[in-house]
Every structure is written in C-alpha cells, then in structure tokens.
Amino acid sequence: MNTTRLLQPRYRDLLRRGIGLFFAFFLALQAGPAAAEAEAEADIVTREIAGAEFEDVTFALVNAIAAEGITPPSLSEFSDMLRRTAPDLGHSPTLFDQARIYTFCSASAAARLSAESPHHIVLCPLSIAVYRITADSPVVHLGYRRSASTAGGSAVDALLERIVERTAESVR
C-alpha cells in the first residue's frame, strides 16, 4: 500500500488551511490601521455652527466654560503652530484657516475619574477645539474627545456636551 497517496489529501487540506489563515492574517493586518482610525474617529464629537464668526464662537465657549464654575481655560493657537512649523515639517501651512484648542479642568470631574482609576489622570485636562477649515467656510466647528467608558467618563462627556451646547446656543 502506498502511504504517500493516502497522505496527499491531508497535506493538501493543511496547505489550503495554512494559506487561508495566512491571507486572513494579512487582511487583518491591513484592516488594523483603518479599524483603529475608525475607532478613534468614533471617539471624536464635533458640532458645526454655521454662519457664526470665529471670534464669537470662541468668546461663547470661554463663557460656557465659566458658566460651569470652571476657571478660565488655557489657550493653544493650533493653526498658528501649524503655520510656523510647516516649512520645517513639510505640511501645508493652511490646514486650518483658524484653529484653537481650549484646555481646562473640572476638579469634580478629575476627582471622580481619578477615584475610578489613578490611571485616568491622563484624561485631564479636558479640551475643546474650535476651528474653521477654510477661510471661505461659513462653518465653525467645535470638537472634543469622549472620555472613559465609566460613570465618571459619562459625567465628563455630559459636561463637555453641555459646554458645547451652551456655546452653540449663545451664537445663534
């Protein structure tokens, strides 16, 4: 009896499965960055405010933060930084017409998050970005990242949502 003939179908089957697993693994590697990007996008909340002046939105945002009893935010002139670094880094100096990031901390939110996990320290400070993508756009965007998937994180998300909603209401 020729044992090679009996083993051939088994080897062929193993080879097919191996090739199939290889391609599945390869496709998973290719989908990984796209899936991670989609997941990161899901954690970003944006609100469009059409027809408002950029300075009016930023003024309303600072007031909305103060209305929550939070000290005035720190300001990062994000679009200025990108314009300044464009020649050295090779990106377009006009990625945004205007873009600012306001960072602030709610002591009660920080304490609640930290009580849930000391590692939640990385979730503070909170930030809200205000940006206009192109100069001729009538839309100013407000954006923030969702917090942790915990009760404290939900409270932070509600706080950020209230601030963004109050800002939008103020410039209508």
Same domain? 1 vs 75 = no
Assign 105 to helix, strand or coil: coil
89 and 14 co-located in one domain: no
* pLDDT bucket at 142, cuts 50 / 70 / 90: very high
Domain shared by 130 and 161, yes or no: yes
Claim to verify: residue 33 and residue 67 sit in the same structural domain: no
The predicted pLDDT at position 172 comes to 85
Q: Regarding beta strands 74-76 and 98-104, do their DSSP bridges make them parallel or antiparallel, or are they unpaired?
A: antiparallel
The pTM score is: 0.76
The verdict on 143 and 99 lying in the same domain is yes
Domain residue limits at 8? 1-42
Q: Are residues 99 and 15 in the same domain?
A: no
Average pLDDT for 12-38: 53
The closest alpha carbon to 142, from 162, 125, 122, 120, belongs to 162
Whether 167 has a pLDDT exceeding 70, the answer reads: yes
Residue-level pLDDT at 136: 84
Q: Looking at the structure, tell me whether residues 26 and 48 fall in a common domain.
A: no
pLDDT beyond 90 at 33: no
CATH of residue 65's domain is: 3.30.310.70
CA angle 75, 81, 86 (to 5 degrees): 165
Whether 92 and 105 share a structural domain: yes
Same structural domain, 72 and 148: yes
- The structural domain count of the chain equals 2
> What is the separation, in whole angstroms, between the first and last Cα of the chain?
88
Query: Is the same domain home to 107 and 126?
Result: yes
Helix, strand, or coil (residue 97): coil
- Grade residue 135 by pLDDT with cuts at 50, 70 and 90: confident
Query: Does pLDDT of 25 surpass 80?
Result: no
Q: Are residues 112 and 34 in the same domain?
A: no
pLDDT band for 20, please (50, 70, 90 cuts). Answer: low
Q: Summarize the confidence of residues 102-112 as an average pLDDT.
A: 96
From start to end of the chain, where are the E strands?
A: 44-50, 74-76, 98-104, 126-132, 139-145
Residues 62 and 100 placed together within one structural domain of the fold: yes
3 state SS of 94: coil
